[in-house]
Amino acid sequence: MPNGSLEKWLYSHNYCLDILQRLNIMIDVAAALEYLHHGSATTIVHCDLKPSNVLLDKDLVAHVSDFGIAKLLDDRDSIIQTNTLATIGYMAPEYGSEGIVTAAGDVYSFGILLMETFTRKKPTDEVFEEGRSLKSWVKEALPDSVTEIADANLLGEENFAATRDCILSTLEVAVDCCVERRIDITDVLSRLKKIRTTFEKSVPMTSL
């Protein structure tokens, strides 16, 4: 993939993704997960979703990669257990503590990835200690302090209100991905597409 990984684009000083590019990338990832979870009779659970496993082609279209620890679930087994652990910071609680693998675990990882993409903070950042986490940090900031946690690169003076509202709505989806009773990836994809449509309607075409 000529544009490397999402991780490269988020943390390099030589690259910067604007808000619409980030939203499009996360919609691509959600669409990939929806296909894995619902595209056939066998559910494919990726189990290790993170920025380094999201690769970008020449048009910045995102592709989910690295299925080394993916699991297959059929109609009889919507839950399985494994001793193979994924990356710290992105694993759902039930996966990290009990090795329980479900499609909902991917949704949790997607929520963390979504938070990271719009805050530019890794879940393993040194600021998250003594019981704090990326998840709790984002949740505590919504809705009134969203501009304090958003990636500063996104918050220029131009289209400030529309950008703030877009980030807020996106992070609300991310929080809903990380609660105990999570939304399905199909609902995640639908909500992100609506957020994109709303943002595009509120911003002059010359700004996009």
Residues tagged active-site: 48
Gyration radius (Cα) of the chain, Å? 17
Contact 75, 41 (CB under 8 A): yes
Residue 60, CA atoms < 13 Å, CB-side half-sphere: 16
Angstrom distance (rounded) from CA 162 to CA 76:
45
Angstrom distance (rounded) from CA 87 to CA 50:
8
Beta bridge partners of 44: 72
